[in-house]
Structure 1
């Protein structure tokens, strides 16, 4: 059973998320947003993910902050409470920004998504392996552009 928790597994402080939008006069402002919660899979997990933002389709519907309202909702493909690593929209055209926290030595299962994924190492080191056996070690600032690959 999935366990939702406001803190990552590593003991690091949660990332802060800021969502920019407009007020009624058209001035840019930061919108309030829900607390970032991590899906741990189970309470003793060595890996956790938090959906930092999501839209069910691209281009996103920004009219009347429809994208933010869908993200703040308690359920749905773009909901901040949705534990899935990929959007479950029928069209498969959504986008997700995930924060993934791994304890030292943690391993993620090899998987494929239909999305275009961007992964960036923020702190520590991450070994990234493709199903063809190639590996790279990511250091802070290094990133992967994963195009439907395993």
Structure 2
């Protein structure tokens, strides 16, 4: 009986851990209209003038395209009533796939046909009188 209860508790703990881990913002590896994508390069962070992290910016590749992804941190959402976010892919000569949204928690840029050139993901957050942005490192 003791072993049965121990096994039951272990199964419940694993199930809870699975739900928690799959509901985190890290599950952003599926771009709209594409499916599975792979992060390339490191993550950049949009910071407010007071140093608060407002959002994370990542670049992904998949389906023969590049995508920018912006995730607005819960701590920022909890302390700001309104904001606008933008996500885009930038080459050395142009900005592509730009998308914007009001009060969204996350946003994908449009997919860009730029896998053969150097690119970086750019994300911006506009709130109150502030406009802040960040870009990932360039990937070639």
**Structure 1 length as normaliser, TM-score?**
0.28
Q: Which has the higher strand share?
A: 2
Q: Which has the higher helix share?
A: 2
**Structure 2 length as normaliser, TM-score?**
0.29
Q: Based on CA coordinates, which of the two structures has the bigger radius of gyration?
A: 2
Q: Does 1 or 2 have the higher relative contact order (CA < 8 Å, sep 6+)?
A: 2
